[in-house]
Every structure is written in structure tokens, then in C-alpha cells.
């Protein structure tokens, strides 16, 4: 444990970390905050990603394995007072662990490569909680990568990082990609591009999902604009069997991604 406990919320070290709650500073410093033991643990599993770790004395005892892993990796560990942690954390009830991490995204051609079989694309998705949940779901469904288009939320937004529950560190993520370029690249690597939208003529029950597939998911409120729907090979809607008007974006994404994953895994031949 380096130095004495940090107690001054205006200290340079605390201010440098705190400013990463703002996207402009994240982009400038190429770093972001990962809060909570799950996110920090997964970040530490990647060499060189965690730059420094803040922990309260209580969290240091409760999550000794995480703090020990950081120390073993040569990561500077700073014990912080409850007041300092409350200043750094972006949650109502901080869990006492917060890491400053380097950006982990990769270029599009490194995220989506020949042989990819399942990719999630977020186009005009603005809600960080939904975006992080889609990222987590894509990871759970065995997707190869996730693409955030240039009109979507920053994946390093604190709420998005928390909602991903560590999945941000599990699979390749590409960011800031124009939709047209993303679709061109997806098709060029052999992926069939499906747009998930309530306006689709076909339902999820009608389409063959056994082949390599990329799903495009749109804005929470208005879905996907016509120019994006026209880029897709097909527009598919999730069937509503009951009386609900629609599904939440993250829920619809889960249904689509798992439908593809199940179909690919029950079809004879390599995934």
C-alpha cells in the first residue's frame, strides 16, 4: 500500500481520477474508471490495463484477493477515505474499489475478423445502462465482438462500464465506427447483417439464424432510421405474443443474440 490514506478530495491524484467521469477527459487521457470488485477483477486479468487502484480500508480487507492481485501486478494501490471514495465513485453506495484503466477498444478490423460468427452492433444507442447490458449479453451469448457506432454512447461511460459487469474486458470492442463502414466490413467478413426493428416484415421465428450473423440494435426510443435499415440484409422483428407494446432494447437484444447462439450451436458443423 503506497503512502498514507488519501483524505483530501482536492488532492491532485484524486482530481486527476475524478475528471475521468467526463468524456472529454477520458478521450484526452485515453483512460477511464472501473468501479466495483467484479469490474476491477476482470480488468486486472488483462496485462497492463489497470494503471492504479483506489481502495477503502474496509474494501481492502473484504476484497483482499483483488488488492493482492493488483499489488502482485505492480499496480499502485492507494488507500482512500470514505469521503474520497464517495467523490470518485459514481454510485450512491460505493463498493470501495475503483481502478483507473487504459482504453481497451480495438480497431474494427481487429474486432470483426474472418471467421466471426456472431457480432452485436449498437447504432444510435444513447442509454449507457442499455448499452452496457447489451455488451454483457453479447458476452454471455458467446458473441465474437461488439461494435459501438459513432452515434452511440461512450462504452467507457461509468454506467455503461458497470452495466457490462466486467464484459467490457472479455471480448473485442470497437468504438466510433460509422454505421455504413461497419456494415460494409461485416458483410466483407462473411456476416449476414440483420437489423432488429419493430418494422421488420419477418419475425425472429421466420429467419434462419444458423449462419454467421451480425445484429444491429438501434435507439431505445425510435429504433433504427431508414438509412440504416436499408443497409441490412434483412430487417427482423421480435414477435410479441402477449399484449405488451414492445420490448426494452436490452431485452430484445438478448432474445436476438441468444436465438442466433442457440441456432448456431444446434446446427451440425463448426460454429
How deeply is 263 buried, as exposed, middle or buried, from its count of CB atoms within 10 A (0-12, 13-18, 19+)? middle
pLDDT of the residue at 93:
86
Per-residue pLDDT in tens (0 to 9) along the chain, 271 residues: 445 788 888 899 999 999 999 999 999 999 999 999 999 999 999 999 999 999 999 999 999 999 999 999 999 999 999 999 999 998 888 899 999 999 999 999 999 999 999 999 999 999 999 999 999 999 999 999 999 999 899 999 999 999 999 999 999 999 999 999 999 999 999 999 999 998 888 999 999 999 999 999 998 888 899 999 999 999 999 999 999 988 899 999 999 999 999 999 886 555 4
Q: Which residues of 186-220 are buried (b: 16+ CB within 10 A; e: fewer)?
A: beebebbbbbbbeebeeebeebebbebbbbbbbbb
Matching fold, domains 12-102 and 108-266: no
3-state secondary structure the chain: CCCCCECCCCCHHHHHHHHHHCHHHHHHHCEEEEECHHHHHHHHCCCCCEEEEEECHHHHHHCHHHHHHHHHCCCCEEEECHHHHHHHCCCCCCCCEEEEEECCCCCHHHHCCCCCCEEEEECCCCCHHHHHHHHHHHHHCCCCEEEEECCCCCCCCHHHHHHHCCHHHCCCEEEEECHHHHHHHHHHCCCEEEEECCCCCEECCCCCCCCCEEEEECECCCECCHHHHCCCCEEEECCCCCCCCCCCHHHHHHHHHHHHHHHHHHCCCCC
pLDDT of the residue at 268:
59
pLDDT of the residue at 6:
87
Domain ranges of the chain: 12-102, 108-266
Using N-to-C axis directions, what is the helix angle for 64-72 and 37-44, rounded to 10°? 30
- Global pTM reads 0.92
Q: CATH homologous superfamily of domain 108-266?
A: SPOUT methyltransferase, trefoil knot domain (3.40.1280.10)
pLDDT of the residue at 2:
46
Q: Which three cell numbers stand for residue 104?
A: 481497451
Q: What fold does the segment set 12-102 form as a domain? A: 60s Ribosomal Protein L30; Chain: A; (3.30.1330)
Amino acid at each position: 500500500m503506497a503512502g498514507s490514506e488519501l483524505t483530501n478530495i482536492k488532492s491532485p491524484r484524486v482530481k486527476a481520477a475524478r475528471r475521468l467521469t467526463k468524456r472529454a477527459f477520458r478521450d484526452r487521457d485515453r483512460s477511464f474508471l472501473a468501479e466495483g470488485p467484479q469490474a476491477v477483477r476482470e480488468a486486472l486479468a488483462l496485462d497492463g490495463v489497470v494503471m492504479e487502484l483506489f481502495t477503502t480500508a474496509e474494501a481492502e480487507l473484504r476484497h483482499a484477493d483483488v488488492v493482492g492481485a493488483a499489488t502482485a501486478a505492480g499496480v499502485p494501490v492507494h488507500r482512500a477515505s470514505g469521503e474520497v471514495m464517495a467523490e470518485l465513485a459514481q454510485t450512491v453506495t460505493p463498493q470501495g474499489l475503483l481502478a483507473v484503466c487504459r482504453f481497451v477498444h480495438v480497431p474494427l478490423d481487429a474486432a470483426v475478423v474472418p471467421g466471426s460468427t456472431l457480432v452485436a452492433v449498437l447504432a444510435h444507442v444513447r442509454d449507457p445502462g442499455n448499452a452496457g447490458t447489451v455488451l454483457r449479453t453479447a458476452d454471455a451469448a458467446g458473441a465474437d465482438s461488439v461494435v459501438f457506432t459513432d452515434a452511440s454512447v461512450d462504452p467507457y461511460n461509468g454506467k455503461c462500464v458497470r452495466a457490462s459487469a466486467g464484459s467490457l474486458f472479455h471480448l473485442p470492442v470497437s468504438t466510433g465506427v460509422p454505421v455504413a463502414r461497419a456494415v460494409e466490413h461485416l458483410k466483407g467478413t462473411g456476416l449476414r447483417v440483420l437489423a432488429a426493428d419493430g418494422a421488420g416484415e419477418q419475425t425472429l421465428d421466420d429467419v434462419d439464424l444458423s449462419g454467421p450473423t451480425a445484429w444491429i440494435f438501434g435507439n431505445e426510443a425510435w429504433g433504427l432510421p431508414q438509412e440504416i435499415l436499408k443497409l441490412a440484409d434483412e430487417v427482423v422483428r421480435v414477435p410479441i405474443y402477449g399484449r405488451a407494446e414492445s420490448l426494452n432494447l436490452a431485452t430484445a437484444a438478448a432474445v436476438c443474440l441468444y436465438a442466433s447462439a442457440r441456432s448456431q450451436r444446434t446446427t451440425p458443423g463448426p460454429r
